[in-house]
Amino acid sequence: MTSRHATRALIAGGVLLALYPAVRPWGDMTVDREGTAFASVAWPLAHLAAVAGFALVAVGLLGLRDALSDGPGAGAARAALGTWWLGTALVLPYYGAEAFALHTLGTRGDVDPALVEAIRMGAVQVTVFGVGLAAFAVAGVLAAVAVLRSGVLPRWGGAAFAVGFALYLPQFFAAPELRIAHGVLVAAGCVLLGAAVAAYAPPGTRSRRVTSARAASSSSGG
């Protein structure tokens, strides 16, 4: 995984995670409008944008792991990647239910608030979803620790990323405006982490380039 690909994945993932709350209809905040929100084509599209965003962030963290594979931040980077994949596996079923089950109810025009509550708040799904979001928070902190321990990546590259995903669970209880603002924060964290990965040059790269340039010069001048 090259740093260029990792950076692109993190930026794209951040943009999609920002689009999720920005595009998502918020009519479901009141019972009398939730059917219209669920029926909107924007409803599944917004949730699928989040699904793609989580997957792309995983690709970006794979690049972070590869970039720091021989450095002091390698262990934390590996742990961040593994924990992120765990979180992704746990949250995607919930996003699938939101994107498809609720959308189907909305398009049929027979939204039952009790059924919506059962789909969203059943003990199993809420527990799995909550653990998945907690895993995202842990992965964000581990990524920031990896950046800090690396000694070569800009420290700010991991800080915003960690804060954004540490707040991912609490932001679900916030007003729409705050959730949209949180999406912007997540996007900024992903972009900054991507920029940090892009700026990374593995130890010895510079010296190898100098040696290669000298060898080429000697060869052409001989």
Summarised one tens digit per residue, pLDDT across range 132-176 is 999 999 999 999 999 988 877 777 778 999 999 999 999 999 999
pLDDT for 31: 86
* 11, 188 contact by CB (below 8 A): no
pTM across the whole model:
0.87
pLDDT for 157: 76
Residue 7's SS3 state is: helix
| pLDDT above 50: residue 180 | yes
63-92 in b/e burial notation, b at 16+ Cβ within 10 A? Answer: bbbbbbeebebbebbbbbbebbbbbbebbb
pLDDT for 218: 46
Give helix then strand counts, H and E, for the chain. 10, 0
Residue given tokens 């905040």 in the structure block = 29
| pLDDT above 70: residue 25 | yes
